[in-house]
Amino acid sequence: MKKALLFILAIFLVCIAPLLAEAGGFDGSAPLLCAAVETFDCVENGDCQQGTPQSINFPQFLKINFKTKIISGGQVDGKERTSKIKNMEHSEGRLILQGTQNGKGWSIVITETTGNMTLSASDNKVGFVVFGGCTPQ
């Protein structure tokens, strides 16, 4: 089921990407809605678990507001999570966002032509990687 969902999301993003790329929607000029699809969390001893956003209490959807430099999303437990974007830059066709929250550093890389997203967050004991896709709001 999870592989089928990932396949459908990938096909959707590939089909719609040319339309969205023409609008310049992934360059930080318009707010984005990003869907988290697959996660990996790894602990200090090297054990890693593949899962879903729900399995790590990560928001299914993230809203990125470039004007206020705030990323927000509702967690599985019902709490709203927000984080301030401290750095934003363009590099080789990618929009890179960085910040900190609760003692962890995080980075989001969004491909400007497709909206594909990879988020990573870590501290000295645990690391997370989240894969998904974004669309202009």
Report the pLDDT value the prediction gives residue 45, as an integer from 0 to 100. Answer: 87
Question: DSSP per residue over 10-56, as a string?
Answer: HHHHHHHHHHHHHTTTTSSSS-EEEEEEEEEEEETTS-EEEE-GGGG
The percent of residues in the chain predicted with pLDDT above 90, rounded, is 69
Q: What phi, psi does 39 have (nearest 5°)? A: -130, 155
Domain with residue 62: its CATH number is 2.40.128
* Cα 130 to Cα 133: distance, rounded to the nearest angstrom: 10
Range of the domain at 63: 2-136
Does the pTM surpass 0.85? The reply is no
- Please provide the average confidence, as pLDDT, over all residues in the chain: 85
Condensed to tens digits (0 to 9), the pLDDT of residues 58-72 reads 999 999 999 999 999
Task: Give me the number of domains the chain comprises.
Answer: 1
